[in-house]
Amino acid sequence: MSSVTIDIPESLKHRIEALAAAEGYSLEQFLAAAAGEKLSVVLTMDYLRREAAAGHRDAFDRYLTAVPDAEPAASDRIQ
């Protein structure tokens, strides 16, 4: 583990502490989890952008035209 010192507004710190306590986490656990979640979002968006850039619209359109125009099975319908 390593330590990082950050400066945040006192009001934000109090709100984070309250939320962390309500969720049963320490401030450090809450902030580490929040940083991990943000990292996951950024990495996922980077991955999706790379995949989208590698795609070909004409291939996608051909795929869609091959899908039959049919009603979903009863088990797949939203109730």
Residue 24, token pair as written in the block: 């049963």
pTM for the whole structure? 0.66
Q: Is the pLDDT of residue 1 over 90?
A: no
**Crossing angle of helices 27-54 and 10-23, rounded to 10°:** 90
Average confidence (pLDDT) over 67-76: 90
Task: Quote the DSSP letter at residue 74.
Answer: G
Q: Which residues have CB under 8 Å from 23's CB, separation 6+?
A: 30
What's the mean pLDDT in 47-55? 95
CA distance 36 to 39: 5
